[in-house]
């Protein structure tokens, strides 16, 4: 797939980059981080203007994120209702909404470039949780702009070691995601045991024991 994307990027330039990153932001599995790094390498060789590439990558990603947010806002709750047997009851869905809102700008910003696999899911969750569109768009634009500039600049500086840089950041992203998932599961396990302890069955005392206690 990467070879085909690079061929399209080489032939069509910035417009192809716009389309690819927009599709990736919607949720299609595309190695967009490596693609941006390679774009920086092409910019170093004079095949594409680096500033135009950064602008098109940022705007294209924001456009894809907006589609995901819109799907969550106007269709997400209906989809969640259809699959509530997987996600849980109404109370749990309410808790998920609260968590999505609590992520706020930080969740949107860092999922644009640091933990990109979470990006499409946060887009849907933010829309379904009625998170402020203005706040979402602001942090989305800042995060996507920073990510596009970061990875394209790295490709520009290390144009002769693109594969190595892409591997490092790919491994780093999945490592961070693994830590976050582990921390979340540990948090859920801790509170589930704590809740079970508080709501455990009460032991009924026998009449004989009650008389003994009174005496």
User: pLDDT tens for residues 106-135?
Assistant: 888 988 888 787 888 888 888 887 888 999
Cα(45)–Cα(78) distance, integer angstroms? 48
pLDDT for 82 equals: 56
Q: Report pTM.
A: 0.70
pLDDT, position 49: 94
The two structure tokens encoding residue 198:
């508080």
**In a 10 Å sphere around its CB, with 0-12 CB exposed, 13-18 middle and 19+ buried, how is residue 205 labelled?**
exposed
How much is the pLDDT for 120?
Answer: 87
Q: Which residues of the chain have pLDDT under 70?
A: 1-2, 76-103, 161, 163-215
Residue 144 pLDDT: 95
Q: Which residues contact 151 (CB under 8 A, 6 or more apart)?
A: 33, 36, 37, 40, 113, 169
Question: What pLDDT, on the 0 to 100 scale, is given for residue 135?
Answer: 92
pLDDT of the residue at 208: 44
Residue in this structure with the two tokens 């950064």, named with its chain if needed: 54
How many residues in total does the chain contain? 215
| The pLDDT value given to residue 143 | 94
Q: What is the pLDDT of residue 79?
A: 63
């Amino acid at each position: 797939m990467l070879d085909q994307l690079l061929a399209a990027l080489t032939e069509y330039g910035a417009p192809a980059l716009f389309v690819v990153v927009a599709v990736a932001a919607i949720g299609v599995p595309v190695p967009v981080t490596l693609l941006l790094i390679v774009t920086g390498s092409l910019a170093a060789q004079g095949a594409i203007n680096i500033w135009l590439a950064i602008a098109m990558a940022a705007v294209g990603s924001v456009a894809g994120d907006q589609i995901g947010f819109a799907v969550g806002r106007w269709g997400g709750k209906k989809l969640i209702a259809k699959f509530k047997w997987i996600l849980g009851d109404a109370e749990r869905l309410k808790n998920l909404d609260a968590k999505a809102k609590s992520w706020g700008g930080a969740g949107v910003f860092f999922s644009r470039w640091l933990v990109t696999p979470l990006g499409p899911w946060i887009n849907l969750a933010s829309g379904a949780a009625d998170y402020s569109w203005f706040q979402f768009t602001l942090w989305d634009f800042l995060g996507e702009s920073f990510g596009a500039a970061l990875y394209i600049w790295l490709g520009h500086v290390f144009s002769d070691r693109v594969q190595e840089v892409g591997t490092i950041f790919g491994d780093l992203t999945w490592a961070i995601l693994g830590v976050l998932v582990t921390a979340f599961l540990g948090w859920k396990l801790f509170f589930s045991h704590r809740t079970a302890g508080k709501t455990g069955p009460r032991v009924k005392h026998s009449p004989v024991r009650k008389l003994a206690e009174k005496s």
